[in-house]
């Protein structure tokens, strides 16, 4: 079960978190509604390619990636949305599209938008389309060490 790997990582790092089960949902907005989590607290993971290198960007469910802003913020010449085929095999323990925003566990850069870091807590997919993890944003920042920047738009 995907959530068990994430749970072990969080437990090993002494993080206080809550597991939230919800009915199957596939978009970040549907998940937030199903789990009764405010959209601004629901973090979605979007896979992108920055100059051909796979990376994770993390932003609130209610926002979308502004690729010109992402290029400018990262200094990349090219920033593109990755196709499912390009990252499908990178997260074998996760359901497709439900990977948690822990790119550091996969030797992958993680970029998080500033607006999400302003929230006290964040919730995110725990590797499946039926479970979330909710935890303090400061703990996410401590464990993942994401680069915080502005790259999302309403």
57-68 pLDDT per residue, tens = 999 988 999 999
28-84 pLDDT per residue, tens = 788 877 787 877 789 999 999 999 999 999 999 889 999 999 999 999 999 999 999
Q: Which domains does the chain have, with CATH numbers?
A: 2-153 (3.90.960.10)
Beta bridge partners of residue 113, listed in sequence order: 149
- Give the closest residue to 46 by CA, choosing from 70, 23, 30: 70
Name the 3-class secondary structure at 27.
Answer: coil
For the whole prediction, is pTM greater than 0.95? no
């Amino acid at each position: 079960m995907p959530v068990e790997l994430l749970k072990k990582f969080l437990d090993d790092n002494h993080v206080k978190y809550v597991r939230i089960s919800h009915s199957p949902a596939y978009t970040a907005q549907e998940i937030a509604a199903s789990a009764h989590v405010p959209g601004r607290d629901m973090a979605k993971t979007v896979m992108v390619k920055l100059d051909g290198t796979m990376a994770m960007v993390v932003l609130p469910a209610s926002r979308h990636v502004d690729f010109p802003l992402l290029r400018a913020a990262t200094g990349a010449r090219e920033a593109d949305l990755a196709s499912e085929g390009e990252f499908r095999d990178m997260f074998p323990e996760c359901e497709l599209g439900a990977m948690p925003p822990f790119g550091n566990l996969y030797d992958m850069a993680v970029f998080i938008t500033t607006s999400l870091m302003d929230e006290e807590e964040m919730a995110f997919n725990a590797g499946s389309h039926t479970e979330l993890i909710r935890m303090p944003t400061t703990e996410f920042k401590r464990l993942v060490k994401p680069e915080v920047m502005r790259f999302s738009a309403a």
